[in-house]
Structure 1
Amino acid sequence: MLETKPSKAPPTIYLKNYQAPDYYIETIDLHFELGEKHTTVHSRLALSRHSKADSPSLVLNGEELELLSIKQDGQVLSKKNYYQDSESLTLLQVPDCFTLEIETRIYPQDNTTLSGLYTSSGNFCTQCEAEGFRRITYFLDRPDVMARYTTTIVADEKKYPILLSNGNLIAQGKWDTGRHFAKWQDPFPKPSYLFALVASDLARIEDEFITLSGRKIQLHMYVQPHNQDQCDHAMASLKRAMAWDEQVYGREYDLDIYMIVAVDDFNMGAMENKGLNIFNSKYVLAKPETATDTDYENIEAVIAHEYFHNWSGNRVTCRDWFQLSLKEGFTVFRDQQFSADQGSSAVKRIQVVNHLRSYQFREDAGPMAHPIRPESYVEINNFYTLTIYEKGAEVVRMLYRLLGTEGFRKGTDLYFKRHDGQAVTTDDFVQALEDANNTDFSQFRLWYSQAGTPELRISRIYDPEMSTYTLKVKQTCPPTPEQPHKAPFHIPLAIGLLDAEGRDLPLRLAGEAEAITGTRVLELRQAEETFVFQDIPCKPVPSLLRGFSAPVKLYLGLSNEEYCFLLVHDKDHFNRWEAGQQLAIKILLGLVEDHQQGKPLILDPAFTNTIEKILAGDESDQAFVAQILTLPSEHYLAEFMTVIDPEAAYKARRFLQRGLAEALHSTFTTTYESLAGTSPYHSSPEEIGRRKLRNICLEYLMTLDGPDIKSRCLQQFNESDNMTDVIAALSSLADTESSERKIALQAFYNQWKNDSLVMDKWLSLQALSRRQDTLTIVKKLTQHPAFKLTNPNKVRALIGAFCQGNPVRFHDPSGEGYRFLRDYILKLDPLNPQIAARLASTFNLWRRYDQNRQIIMKEQLEHIVNSPRISKDVYEITTKALG
C-alpha cells in the first residue's frame, strides 16, 4: 500500500501492478471492549508467508488508529522493530510463520465517515467495504486475504443487550462489572471487508426458513423497538429470495442463522457481511402508511441483492477491487431477475433501462468514464458506480442471452463449484461460462476492458422484387483519453420484423434452411456487418434491440408513423415502450429547438391520438401503461443535446405534458376516477399497477393548474390510506403556487415529524419542486430540525435531490445552485468524504453546457481543488472533471 501524501497528489493504484500478498492470515481472533468514550480492539493473527519476496518486512494497513501494543510470537516489540505512518504499520523483521497480537484504541462515537466501527442512534455498527476494516485494527485489508474469524464483544449489558458478529454464536456470559460478552465464530474464510459487528438495544423479529435439503435456518431482524411493525415485508422478501435462489441457481444458505440489522446512518443501501447484513433502515422498514410502492419494491430488491451475495460475493469473492463488478454486476443481474419474477417483468426491464440510460450513459460520457473492470483508481470508494453495478449487470445479461437459461446455469454451477472459498477475477467468471458450454468469449471480454457506450447505426433496404430485407449495421464506440481506439464489441442484437398487421414475420438469413418466427438474436462482431433476410413478402417495420439486448445507443431513423405502429402493435413490451420514448424524444427535441428560436410550441396530433389509444386500450398490465405515459426525463433528453439547455428541456417537457392533459382531459379524468382503490392497502403487482396508472393521470391533470383538480388532489392527499397516493398528491401540489400546497406540506410535517424516513420524503419533494424559489426553500431546509448534515439519507434527500434531480433549478444561469453545492461539498468533506465525492460528481458534465454555465461550474471545481487538504475521494472526482 502506497502512503497517501498530505499534498494534493494522492497516489494512483493500477491493476497492472497487482501482486499477490506476501503473507496470508489463516485465522484472526478479535476482542472488542466497547466503551462510551473509546473502544479497545485486541487482535491475534496467525500469519504465514506465501511468496518468495526478498524483504523480511510486513506492511499492514491502518488508519485513524491509536497503537497501544504489539507482540510477535508472545514477545513485545519495541519501536525499533516497527514504524508507522498515517496509513500503515510496518514490521521490519518477521519470520515465515508467526502469531501477531496488536492492541489499538479507536473512537467510534466520533467517526462521522461511517466507515469502520461507528455509532448510529446510540448503537455500535460497522461498514468495512471497501477499506473500512483498517480503521478498526492493523491488518492486510485487501479482498484476497481470506481468514477465519472469531470475534468476542464486551459491552455494557443494559445499554447494549444485543451483541452480534459474523457466523454462529459459540459462547456468551456476564461479568460482575455489569458488562457482558458474546463470542461468534465464522466457519467460512472471508476477506476483511465482510467483517461485521453490532452492539445495540434493538428489538428482534424472528422467523425461520426450511431449505430444500430440510435444514432449518433462523431468520433474525433487528430494528428500533418502535419499528417492529414495519418488518413483515422485508422478512417475506427474504424468504422469497432464499427460495428463489435455491430454485433458479441451486444455491442453499450455508449457516444456521441469517441476521439483518437496520441502522439510520449508512453510506450505502446495505452490506452483505457474511451472515450479518447491515442495512440502511430505508431498505428494511415498510408499512402502507409510511412507505410507497416504490419503497416496497426497493426493499424487496435490496433484501434479495444482499442475500444473493452470500454466494456471488461471499463464498466466491473478488481478488482485488478492480474486479468489483465480479460480485456487484453479477448480483445486480440476479436481483433484477428475481424482481422480474415477482411482478411485471416488462415494467422491471423498463425501469432498469430507464435508469441506465438516464444516468449510467452520462457516466460513460463523462470524465469518470471507466470499464466495468477499471484499470486504475485513486480512491476505491469512487468506483462504486453505475458502470460497475448497472452496466456490469447488463454485461452479465448479455452472457445470459447468448448462452440461454440452461447454458448460463451450467456456467454458474461450474463457477461456484470451481471457485468456492476463493478470491477470483472477472476472467475466472467468464472462463467458467466458456468451459461449461464449450464456447469462446474472447471478443466478448472487451466489455470488461473498454469504456464507453457503443453506438449502432443501422440502415435498411427492402427489395420487393427479391423479397429481401437488408440490415446494414455499423458499430462504433466514442474514444476516451485512455482508450482513443476501440475494438469492435461482441454484441447480441435481438430483432423482429413486423408485417402490416403487427405480426412477427418468420426470419431466414441467406444460406439458412429454416426460418425462425419471433425474436432472433444476431451476434455482431465486426465494425460493419450486413444481414439479408429472405422471403419477406412486404416491407416490414423493424423492431430492433428487443428487450434492450445490449447496453448500446441505437440509431435507426424510424419515422413517426413507424414509431406509432410499434407503440401499438409490437409484441415485445420493452420495444413498445421504447417506441413511445423515442417518438417523444423526437417531439421534445423539436419543441426544444422551437423554444430556443422563439417559435410557438405546437402539439403533435398523431402522438396525442396514439397516447389516447394506449390510455383507452385493453392492456391488462396497468403498470406498463403508466410507463408508456411517462415522458422521457429531462436527464435522458439531455443525452440528445449537443449543448445541454436545462430550461428548454424543462419547458418542452412541461408543454408536452400540459398539451396532452388539455387534449385528453376527459380520458385522463375518467381513467383517474375509474381506478379509485378501496381499503385496505395491498402491495400486489395488480394493485401497484393500478396506483401507478391512477397517479400518472393525476400528474398530467395537475399540469392544468385548475382549482377543481387542486381540490381533487388535496382530497386524495387527505383521504388516502397509503403513502403512495399521499406522496403522489403532495408531489403535484409541491410544484404549485397555492394555498393547498401550504396546507398539505404543513399537515404532512405535523403528522410525520417524528419519523425520520418519512421526513426524507418531505425534504425531497420540496427539493424537487420546479418552483422559482426552490433553492431559497432548500437553503432554509438545511437549517430545519428535519435535516442533519452527518446523516447520508438527509443529505441525499435534500441536497442530492436538488442538485442531481432538479436540473432546471440547479442549473439556474445565475450559478447560485453551483455555489450552494460547492459550499456543501466542502462542509461534508471533513465529515464524510464518500458522500461529498458523490455530490461533487454532479459537476462531471460541466463541459456539455453553455459557456456561461461552464465558466461558473469550472470556478466551483477550481475552488474545491484549491481548498486545503481535501480528501482523496473529492480530489479524484474534481481533478478528473477539470481534466
Structure 2
Amino acid sequence: MRTEQPKMIYLKDYQAPEYLIDETHLTFELFEDHSLVHAQLVMRRNPERGPGLPPLVLDGQQLELLSVTLADRELGIADYQLTENHLTLQPTSTTFTVDTSVRIHPETNTALEGLYKSGTMFCTQCEAEGFRKITYYLDRPDVMSTFTTTVVAEQHSYPVLLSNGNPIASGPGEDGRHWATWEDPFKKPAYLFALVAGDLWCVEDSFTTMTERNVALRIYVEPENIDKCQHAMNSLKKSMRWDEEVYGREYDLDIFMIVAVNDFNMGAMENKGLNIFNSSAVLAKAETATDAAHQRVEAIVAHEYFHNWSGNRVTCRDWFQLSLKEGFTVFRDSGFSADMNSATVKRIQDVAYLRTHQFAEDAGPMAHAVRPDSFIEISNFYTLTVYEKGSEVVGMIHTLLGAEGFRKGSDLYFERHDGQAVTCDDFIKAMEDANGVDLTQFKRWYSQAGTPRLAVSESYDAAKTYSLTFRQSCPPTPDKVEKLPFVIPVELGLLDNQGGELALRLAGEASAQGTSRVISVTEAEQTFTFVDIAEQPLPSLLRGFSAPVKLSFPYNRDQLMFLMQHDSDGFNRWDAGQQLSVQVLQELIAQQQKGEALVLDQRLVSALRTVLSDETLDQAMVAEMLSLPSEAYLTEISEVADVEAIHIAREFARKQLADALFEGLWLRYQANRDLSKQTPYVAEAEHFARRALQNIALSYLMLSGKPEVLAATLEQFDACDNMTERLTALAVLVNSPFEQQKAKALASFAEHFKDNPLVMDQWFSVQAGSVLPGGLDRVKALMQHPAFNIKNPNKVRALIGAFAGQNLINFHAADGSGYRFLADLVIELNGFNPQIASRQLAPLTRWRKYDDARQALMKGELERIRGSGQLSSDVFEVVSKSLA
C-alpha cells in the first residue's frame, strides 16, 4: 500500500546501475509460519558509471532485516540506512560481498508477488518487481547475475524442492528436513528467479536437441492433476522442435521444468528453466478442458518456452522495453500456433481480439506507446498494447523484410546480444544491419500511441491506370496530440469482375510484381498508380491485416459480398463478411434508435447461406464467418455506444439468421455431431474445426425454440465425451427460455465437476455471461457459492471479469448497479491483491464511450474508488489517469 503520492518514472531518466552483481548465493529456510532468506551477493562497481564509490541502495519491501554484513564485517544499526523500500550501505572498495538475512511471511502474502503459498505449495512470482519482497537486491532487469540456490524444508510436506538451472546436490537435514541446491550458469536478472517447494507429482519425458543433447522434461502438478499434463508435454516438445527449425534456437540447460499453480496473477512465467504456470494454462484433457483451452495451453507453453531466448538469454534493459521480449515472443508463439493449426483462422482470431480490445485500450485513458515514456506502476503495463500491438509491430518488420530477411535479423540479434539486457532500438538495429535497410521512421510505432487510421480512395481512367490514394492520421492520445506519419505496410491485390487476380505493376516499374504485393505508406497522403489495368478493379486491401490500423474504403454491400466469394486472401474474405455485418448491424441500430421496425438486409442472409453451404471451406473458417461482430466490437467502433440498441439489433440479426438458415445449420450440426459420436476426442486442428462449426450452429439453432433443437442440445450435454461440446450445450441452455432444463443442467454440471476448480471456473463464466435479465443478481449469488474464492485470481476473472467485460447489456444497466458492484469489488481487491484490482478496472475506464447518464455514473464510481482510502499504486495510477 502506498503511504505517499506515487511517483512517475520516466524513460528519459534511465541510468545504468551504480553497482553490478556477479554472483548470487541464496539459502531459503521454509517454515509454516515464516521463512528465512540468507543472501550473499558478490558485487562490484559498474565501470560504466565512472570512478568513486557512491552509496549502494538495495531494493527491499516487507522484509524483516535480521543481519547485514558488508565485506565480511557485520554492520550495526548505525552503519546502514533502512527505509520501507530500501537498504542503503556504503562500500569501501570496488569489489565486495554483501550478506543479508531476512524473515518474510509467504503464508500471509495475498498479493501473490515474491514468495507466497498457493494452497500447500511454496512458489514465486518475481516479474516485474517481486524479488524485492524476497531479499534485499538490485531488483532491476539490467543487473544480471549467476544464481546458486539452496532450499531447505520439511521433507514430508515438501518432498519436491526446485529452483532455476540444474540440480547439483541434495540431502537430508535435521529434524525431518531436507535440502536441495540448484545452479543456474546463465546470468539472469532477479525477475527470472523461481523457487517451488511442495508435495508434487511429476510427468517426465525427454527431448533430443538439434546437436544431439538430451534434455529432461518435467511437468510438476498436485497429485489430482497428474492425468491432465500430456497435452502440455506434447506442446512443449513441438515448441522446442519448432524453435530449432524456424529460429535456429536450441535449449541450453540439462532440464526444463513446468509447475502448475492454482493461485497466480498471470498466465505463466518464463523463469529460466523453471516455468511457473497458472494451472489453467497447463492442465488439459478432453473431459475437463475445451478446444479453446487446449489451444491456449499449447500457445502459452510455446510462449514461455520461446522466452528462453527472447527474454531470458537476451533480456530487457529496463521495463520500458517490456515489448522487446513480450511483443517479440507473442509474434513467435502466434507463428507457432499458425503452423500447428489453421494459419488463416489464427490470424482472424488474433485480429478480432486486437480490434475489439487493444484498439479500445488505444482509445482510452491508459493509452500508451508500445514503448511507454513513463509509468507509475509497471504492473499496469502488462497490457494488450505491449503484447498484442507489440507483436503486430514485429510482424510488420517481418512483412517488410520477408521471412528470410527477418531470420537474418533475429539471428544477428541473438548472437550480438546473448547474455545482455538491451532495448527495442537494439532489436531494430540488428534488423537494419542484417538487411542493409533504414528503419528510423518505422520506429515511430514504438514511440507513438494510438491506432492509426488509413483512409483510401480510388480513381480509374481510360488509359488503363488505377490509382489508390492513402491518407493516414492518428487521433490524439493522453501523451501526445500531434503524430508524425508511420510506416504502414499494406499488402494488397486487385480483382477483376470475374474475381480473378490482376498483375500488379506500379507506374515506373519495368514489369509486374505478382498479383499480391506489399506497398509502404510513409507519408500523410500518398498515391500509388498501377498501370496496364484493363478494367475497373476491386481492391483487396490490408491482406492478412498487414498493419494494425483502422482502414476505411467506401465498399458497398455488393462489393463486400463479391470479396467474400472471390478474394484469394482468406483473412480478407472473413473481413469482408465482418464489414458487411457491421454495415447491416449499424443500420439495425439506427432503426432501433428511431423507433422503426427492424428489417434485416437479406444480402447478409444470402452471403452467409453461401458460406454455410460451401463444403470446400475449412470448417473453422465457416464458423468464424458465421460469427457476427461482438457487442464489444460494435461498442468500440461507435462514437457513442448505445448499449440497448446494440444488444437488441444484434440479437434480432441472430434470430433472423437462425430462422433463415435453419435447414443448412441443422444439416451441418447433425453431420458434425454424428462424427463426434463416432470419433474419440482428438486435440487437433481438423477436429477443432468440426466442433467449432457444430457448436456455432447449435447456438443459432436454439434461437428457433424448436423442440428438436432442445432435444439435440440435451443429448449433446448428456452424451458427449468432451468439455467443448458439454460447455457449449450448457451455455446454449443457460441463454435459453427453458428454465427447468437449464436448472437441471447447471446442477448436474456443478455436482459432477465440484472437485475440479478449473471446470467450475467455466461454470461461473457461462452464467456470468448470460445476457438474460437479472445478470448482476446471478453474479452476486454465485459469489456465495462454495467454489468461489475472491482471493483466487482465476475465480475473479471467471465470474467478475466475465460479467463486467463480456456481459455488456447487464453490466451497463441504466441504474448504475453494475458500476457500483465493480467499484466495491475493486476497493476490496485493492486491500489484498492490487494487481488483480487494477486489471478489473478496465470497463470503468472507458466511461467516455457512453451516453451522458452512464458517463456520470461511471465517473462517479471512479471518484469513489479514488476517495476510498489508501490505494495501491496499481489502482491509483489507473483511476487517476481515467479521471484526468
TM-score range, shorter chain: over 0.9
Q: Distance in 1 between matches of 2:668 and 2:441?
A: 50
Which of 31, 37, 47 is matched with 2:43 structurally? 47
Q: Distance in 1 between matches of 2:436 and 2:869?
A: 56
Q: 1:109 maps to what in 2?
A: 107
Q: 1:21 maps to what in 2?
A: 17
Q: 1:701 maps to what in 2?
A: 701
Q: Distance in 1 between matches of 2:58 and 2:645?
A: 54
Structure 1 counterpart of 2:672, one-letter code: L
Q: How does 1:704-743 map to 2 (within 5 A)?
A: 704-738=704-738, 739-743=740-744
Structure 1 counterpart of 2:379, one-letter code: N
1:790-848 per-residue CA deviation (whole Å, 9 max, x = no partner) reads 10000000001101111111001010000000110011111100000001122111011
Q: How does 1:150-299 map to 2 (within 5 A)?
A: 150-299=148-297
1:243-299 per-residue CA deviation (whole Å, 9 max, x = no partner) reads 000000000000000000001000000000000000001111111100100001000
Q: 1:393 maps to what in 2?
A: 391
Give 1:665 shift.
1.1
- Aligned to 1:405, what secondary structure does the other structure show? helix
Give 1:400 shift.
0.3
Q: Identify unmatched segments of 5+ residues in structure 2.
A: none
Which of 433, 436, 439 is matched with 1:435 structurally? 433
- Aligned to 1:444, what secondary structure does the other structure show? helix
Q: 2:488 maps to what in 1?
A: 491
Q: 2:65 maps to what in 1?
A: 67
1:501-553 per-residue CA deviation (whole Å, 9 max, x = no partner) reads 21110011111111123210011111000111111111111100000000000
Q: 2:529 maps to what in 1?
A: 532
Q: 2:876 maps to what in 1?
A: 875
Q: 2:608 maps to what in 1?
A: 611
Q: How does 1:297-376 map to 2 (within 5 A)?
A: 297-376=295-374
Q: Distance in 2 between matches of 1:702 and 1:14?
A: 54
Structure 2 counterpart of 1:851, one-letter code: D
Contact 2:622 2:693 in 1 (8 A): yes
Contact 1:207 1:218 in 2 (8 A): yes
Is structure 2 residue 396 aligned with structure 1 residue 423? Answer: no
Contact 2:642 2:850 in 1 (8 A): yes
Structure 1 counterpart of 2:847, one-letter code: W
1:701-736 per-residue CA deviation (whole Å, 9 max, x = no partner) reads 112233332222111111111100001111111112
Is structure 2 residue 38 aligned with structure 1 residue 37? Answer: no
Q: Distance in 1 between matches of 2:2 and 2:700?
A: 54
1:182-228 per-residue CA deviation (whole Å, 9 max, x = no partner) reads 00000000000000000010001100000011000000110111211
Q: 2:135 maps to what in 1?
A: 137
Q: How does 1:500-519 map to 2 (within 5 A)?
A: 500-519=497-516
Q: Distance in 2 between matches of 1:608 and 1:820?
A: 39
TM superposition score normalised by structure 1:
0.99
Q: 1:461 maps to what in 2?
A: 459
Q: 2:824 maps to what in 1?
A: 823
- Aligned to 2:504, what secondary structure does the other structure show? strand
Moved more, 634-643 or 34-43: 634-643
Could you say if the C-alpha distance between residues 820 and 672 of structure 1 is closer, same or farther in structure 2, counting changes exceeding 3 Å? same
Moved more, 322-331 or 663-672: 663-672
- Aligned to 2:186, what secondary structure does the other structure show? coil
Contact 1:371 1:451 in 2 (8 A): yes
- Aligned to 1:144, what secondary structure does the other structure show? coil
Contact 1:81 1:93 in 2 (8 A): no
Q: Distance in 1 between matches of 2:684 and 2:98?
A: 55
Q: Distance in 2 between matches of 1:12 and 1:706?
A: 59
Q: Identify unmatched segments of 5+ residues in structure 1.
A: none
Structure 2 counterpart of 1:728, one-letter code: T
Which of 650, 653, 656 is matched with 1:656 structurally? 653
Contact 2:53 2:94 in 1 (8 A): no
Q: Distance in 2 between matches of 1:189 and 1:369?
A: 34
Q: 2:76 maps to what in 1?
A: 78
1:571-608 per-residue CA deviation (whole Å, 9 max, x = no partner) reads 00000000000110011111111111111111111111
Give 1:674 shift.
1.4
Give 1:54 shift.
5.4
Q: Distance in 1 between matches of 2:767 and 2:660?
A: 29
Over the matched positions of the two proteins, sequence identity in percent amounts to: 54
Contact 1:710 1:740 in 2 (8 A): no
Q: Distance in 2 between matches of 1:194 and 1:433?
A: 26
Contact 1:238 1:304 in 2 (8 A): yes
Q: Distance in 2 between matches of 1:360 and 1:769?
A: 24
- Aligned to 1:259, what secondary structure does the other structure show? strand
- Aligned to 1:456, what secondary structure does the other structure show? strand
Cα RMSD of the aligned pairs, angstroms, is 1.0
Contact 1:150 1:185 in 2 (8 A): yes
Extract structure 1 runs of 4+ deviating beyond 4 A: none
- Aligned to 1:514, what secondary structure does the other structure show? coil
1:469-521 per-residue CA deviation (whole Å, 9 max, x = no partner) reads 11011000001232111000011000000111211100111111111232100
1:55-96 per-residue CA deviation (whole Å, 9 max, x = no partner) reads 631111111111111011121111111112211111145432
Is structure 2 residue 849 aligned with structure 1 residue 848? Answer: yes
TM superposition score normalised by structure 2:
0.99
Is structure 2 residue 146 aligned with structure 1 residue 148? Answer: yes
Contact 2:365 2:478 in 1 (8 A): no
Contact 2:2 2:870 in 1 (8 A): no
1:373-426 per-residue CA deviation (whole Å, 9 max, x = no partner) reads 000000000000000000000000000010001100000000000000000000
Q: Distance in 2 between matches of 1:127 and 1:192?
A: 11
Q: 1:685 maps to what in 2?
A: 685
1:610-658 per-residue CA deviation (whole Å, 9 max, x = no partner) reads 1101100133410011000001111111122111112111111111111
- Aligned to 2:185, what secondary structure does the other structure show? coil
Contact 1:760 1:797 in 2 (8 A): yes
Q: Distance in 2 between matches of 1:853 and 1:360?
A: 22
1:96-135 per-residue CA deviation (whole Å, 9 max, x = no partner) reads 2111000000000100000000001200000000000000
Is structure 2 residue 89 aligned with structure 1 residue 98? Answer: no
Q: Distance in 2 between matches of 1:211 and 1:86?
A: 47
Is structure 2 residue 670 aligned with structure 1 residue 669? Answer: no
Q: 1:647 maps to what in 2?
A: 644
Q: 1:573 maps to what in 2?
A: 570
Q: 1:794 maps to what in 2?
A: 795
1:6-44 per-residue CA deviation (whole Å, 9 max, x = no partner) reads 13x200000000000000000010000000000000000
Q: How does 1:117-132 map to 2 (within 5 A)?
A: 117-132=115-130
Q: Distance in 2 between matches of 1:239 and 1:671?
A: 35
- Aligned to 1:188, what secondary structure does the other structure show? strand
Contact 2:164 2:272 in 1 (8 A): yes
- Aligned to 1:823, what secondary structure does the other structure show? helix
Q: 1:449 maps to what in 2?
A: 447
Structure 1 counterpart of 2:6, one-letter code: P
Q: 1:835 maps to what in 2?
A: 836
Q: Distance in 2 between matches of 1:480 and 1:304?
A: 34
Q: 1:477 maps to what in 2?
A: 474
Q: Distance in 1 between matches of 2:828 and 2:198?
A: 30
Structure 2 counterpart of 1:824, one-letter code: L
Structure 2 counterpart of 1:445, one-letter code: K
Q: Distance in 1 between matches of 2:463 and 2:651?
A: 47
